[in-house]
Structure 1
């Protein structure tokens, strides 16, 4: 098993900010720009005017464009980007806790109970599905068996799913199934066990939040909406009121 290298709490925050700026924020801008093309949407003709009116009080092309773009820009785009780059976050930000155990993302000495933990990282409390449960359980069973073979006792409680954000009350039924046999640490609890700092979760999210000051994309968003509105004008049934 690897020797504990150690990563300071300050290093984690610093690297997390770099990761967010260079990967998440830049991809967000790139994905926003793509939305000027109507082919990036599956437009529902039964709902587009309703949603536009619900949002702005009218259903002209620009309002429909806003109703299409806002959910993507403020919801799915940024969430998908973070999830798809999760492994990069682990490799660049938590590399000091890297694991050589197959199926594990990181290993760390738990700052609460002092035991070595073998950990799979997940983004959020709703980000695994039914098939993931069996995969995670099998990885943990393999780690325990490997430890037994090598004379290293690994208890079920030492096999951890670390969830970056959320609360225990937010966990899906799939996580709760895993928690019946293994440890699931979510949000504040995960970062507390990893770093020993009960307030680290807030310090980390506040640190990343500082990056927001560097990314005012109001002009980009306005231009993207206008460009998409021009394409929408050419579609039958979508005309300027």
Structure 2
């Protein structure tokens, strides 16, 4: 009984460590990069402008095509969409090395290794951010990495099944997976969101615990003032651009 309690406590400590490291990662890596990328948006040159749509989007958003409205229509999608998603994707390897440091892999083409808490098998895993974050070329690259690992293992007399080479997607659901992920899933399992974290940790609600913990950190940061300052500065440049012909 005491041995089981010790094992559970050790595991719980490991899970708490992941959560704390996740919060720390968000504070040190994601927020500063997001803020820096937001502050860059004071110049029109930072945008891929579309004269056919920019005024339309401004009017759709605010009901007019004043410079301030155009600036809002340009800035909001970048700040709340492209910018933060790109930041998270670019920091993925650091996420693996810092937040998932206890599962680090030394195998080429593999991000982490872990014992699957559902089937008890050792998994060799490539980590991806979300359900739409790979392209067609990535499918071939991932499959080639996995085939290479199997070949090396066979050479060294180690058995690795196809089911033991997996892609772990940090967030999302199976239904949201793109066709590129589904192409991989036909040969190698793709575990996404709650299922991935469950298999990694053995705790069914760990995905919710982790995202909730990061959300607690996120609410401490209010970027509205910076966004408004960026929009006002950008609007001034738009107003100075003759006839908005940019």
| TM-score interval, normalised by the smaller of the two chains | over 0.9
Quote how far apart the aligned CAs of 1:139 are.
1.0
**Equivalent position to 1:197, from 199, 203, 210:** 203
**Equivalent position to 1:141, from 136, 144, 147:** 147
Quote how far apart the aligned CAs of 1:132 are.
1.0
**Equivalent position to 2:223, from 203, 217, 230:** 217
**Poorly superposed stretches of 4+, deviation over 3 Å:** none
Q: Kindly indicate whether the alpha-carbon contact (under 8 Å) linking 1:7 and 1:94 is maintained by their aligned counterparts in 2.
A: no
Q: Deviations over 1:126-159 (max 9, x none)?
A: 1111111111111111111222222221100000
Gaps of 5+ in 1: none
Aligned residues: CA RMSD: 1.6
Matches within 5 A, 1:1-80: 8-80=14-86
Q: Kindly indicate whether the alpha-carbon contact (under 8 Å) linking 1:33 and 1:220 is maintained by their aligned counterparts in 2.
A: yes
Q: Comparing both structures, which one devotes a greater share of its residues to helix? A: 2
Q: Kindly indicate whether the alpha-carbon contact (under 8 Å) linking 1:168 and 1:186 is maintained by their aligned counterparts in 2.
A: yes
Distance change (3 Å), C-alpha of 1:160 and 1:6: farther
1:229 counterpart residue number: 235
Q: Kindly indicate whether the alpha-carbon contact (under 8 Å) linking 1:60 and 1:238 is maintained by their aligned counterparts in 2.
A: no
Q: Normalising by structure 1, report the TM-score.
A: 0.94
Q: Normalising by structure 2, report the TM-score.
A: 0.92
Quote how far apart the aligned CAs of 1:43 are.
2.0
Matched, 1:92 2:89: no
Q: Kindly indicate whether the alpha-carbon contact (under 8 Å) linking 1:162 and 1:185 is maintained by their aligned counterparts in 2.
A: yes
